[in-house]
């Protein structure tokens, strides 16, 4: 084995005792490939299984915790006990290949397409339309409805119920999706949260919902899991909107999360070494460096963002993060980790081969999304 890769391929043990065989995990990525009724397709299971052999842990695409939280066409559901057999198939498909299976749980909030949610009614922290990415961006008359306090409590409980289903389906953990502009982030953001009750207002009050979800999930794990169960939390560092989440606000949230006894935090970045836009003094210091300083070894941080080659991974790992997530690269080359293990890193493919959909085991809906979105993947 190349000595330079020993760190990446060394094992890692969470504080709960669960051991990962290496430091490389599959990042959560939407694949648009589930059945209309929210059940997982065979193609989806094969897609995950193909990528679950080398990495130590697979974080699935997000699954919705309530019917009004479905954020994507072809997204699989976990909002009722009827979904447990479907979830079980997915967990088994990943675990049979030797990776830990982690279910990412979420609610889309104002980013949900109206046609996917009951009565076409999208909900959020407040009735503020999304400025980008959401349906209200294209259709200004589509406004989300502000959730009542009772409904907010119901969604917190739903995160707990979905965690119970993940346990029953055989997953090794859940990742709370507090990133990428979805409901949990909408409660933290000063752009989407203009509430004046206990869930909004000051920075501390905007943290109420995210931290309540964490507490609920952890209490359900304590009650229902019979063996160690991973709980992670994913967050985005900043928002482009004004007002919007700034780097210093995220550091306050991360500081609070680091005291919650989570198994890991997972930052959502497009570029690993990207720099803050506002809110901190030194805009030349990377977001990863700021996060590491704030966390101060209280909880493991998973880093991610445009890691394609082995050299990219080594440079990212040298930043001090204990775990790295690979997203698009594992779609491009599902054998990335095995090539590292076998000293064949020069054979790693870093651009998508458009003639190899079948060999890469990529379901049609995901393939079509990739090839029709220039610039999303190298080689497309």
Domain ranges in the chain are 3-371
- What's the pLDDT score for residue 141? 72
Q: What is the pLDDT of residue 367?
A: 98
Reading phi first (left if > 0) and then psi (alpha if -120 to 50, else beta), residue 10 is in beta
Which residues, at least 6 apart from 197, have a Cβ–Cβ distance to it below 8 Å?
149
Residues in the chain: 380
pLDDT in tens, the chain (380 residues): 688 999 999 999 999 999 999 999 999 999 999 999 999 999 999 999 999 999 999 999 999 999 999 999 999 999 999 999 999 999 999 999 999 999 999 999 999 999 999 999 999 999 999 988 776 666 767 899 999 999 999 999 999 999 999 999 999 999 999 999 999 999 999 999 999 999 999 999 999 999 999 999 999 999 999 999 999 999 999 999 999 999 999 999 999 999 999 999 999 999 999 999 999 999 999 999 999 999 999 999 999 999 999 999 999 999 999 999 999 999 999 999 999 999 999 999 999 999 999 999 999 999 999 999 999 999 99
pLDDT value of position 136: 61
Q: Are 291 and 322 in contact (CB under 8 A)?
A: no
Least Cα distance to 280 among 302, 249, 258 occurs for 249
Upper half-sphere CA count for residue 259 (Cβ side, 13 Å): 7
Q: Three-class SS of residue 26?
A: strand
Query: Which token pair is 348?
Result: 């790693």
Q: Pick the catalytic residue: 182, 233, 264, 290?
A: 182
Residue with tokens 């506002």: 278
Contact 180, 268 (CB under 8 A): yes
Q: Any residues with CB less than 8 A from the CB of 175 and at least 6 apart, and which?
A: 28, 59, 102, 103, 104, 105, 231, 232, 233, 234, 266
Model pLDDT, residue 133: 78
The pair of three-digit structure tokens given for residue 308, joined into one six-digit string: 């394609």
What's the token pair of residue 84? Answer: 């447990």
Q: What is the pLDDT of residue 138?
A: 66
Q: Is the pTM of this model over 0.95?
A: yes
Give every CB contact of residue 47 below 8 A, 6+ residues apart in sequence: 31, 33, 361, 362, 363, 366
pLDDT score at 148: 98
Is there a catalytic annotation at residue 182?
yes
CATH ID of 3-371, from 3.30.160.270, 3.40.50.2000, 3.20.20.70, 3.30.1280.10? 3.20.20.70
């Amino acid at each position: 084995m190349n000595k330079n890769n020993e760190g990446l391929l060394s094992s890692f043990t969470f504080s709960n005792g669960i051991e990962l065989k290496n430091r490389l995990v599959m990042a959560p990525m939407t694949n648009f490939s589930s059945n209309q009724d929210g059940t997982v397709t065979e193609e989806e299971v094969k897609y995950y299984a193909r990528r679950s052999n080398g990495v130590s842990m697979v974080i699935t695409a997000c699954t919705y915790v309530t019917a009004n939280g479905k954020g994507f066409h072809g997204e699989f559901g976990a909002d009722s006990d009827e979904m447990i057999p479907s979830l079980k198939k997915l967990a088994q498909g990943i675990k049979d290949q030797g990776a830990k299976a982690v279910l990412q749980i979420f609610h889309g909030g104002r980013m949900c397409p109206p046609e996917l949610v009951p009565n076409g009614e999208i909900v959020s922290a407040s009735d503020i339309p999304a400025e980008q990415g959401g349906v209200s961006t294209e259709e200004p008359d589509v406004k989300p409805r502000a959730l009542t306090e009772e409904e907010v409590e119901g969604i917190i409980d739903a995160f707990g119920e979905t965690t119970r289903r993940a346990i029953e389906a055989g997953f090794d953990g859940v990742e709370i999706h507090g990133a990428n502009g979805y409901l949990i982030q909408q409660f933290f953001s000063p752009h989407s949260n203009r509430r004046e009750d206990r869930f909004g207002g000051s920075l501390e009050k905007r943290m109420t919902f995210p931290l309540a979800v964490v507490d609920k999930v952890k209490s359900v794990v304590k009650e229902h899991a019979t063996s160690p169960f991973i709980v992670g939390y994913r967050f985005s560092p900043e928002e482009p909107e004004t007002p919007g989440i700034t780097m210093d606000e995220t550091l306050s949230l991360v500081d609070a999360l680091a005291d919650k006894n989570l198994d890991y935090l997972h930052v959502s970045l497009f570029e690993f070494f990207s720099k803050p836009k506002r809110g901190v003094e030194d805009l030349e210091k990377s977001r990863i460096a700021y996060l590491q300083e704030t966390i101060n070894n209280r909880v493991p941080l998973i880093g991610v963002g445009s890691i394609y080659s082995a050299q990219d991974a080594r440079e990212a790992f040298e930043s001090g993060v204990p775990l790295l997530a690979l997203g698009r690269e594992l779609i491009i080359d599902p054998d990335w980790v095995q090539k590292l293990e076998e000293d064949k890193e020069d054979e790693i493919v870093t651009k998508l081969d458009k003639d190899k959909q079948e060999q890469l085991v990529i379901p049609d809906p995901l393939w079509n999304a990739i090839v029709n979105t220039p610039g999303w993947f190298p080689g497309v």
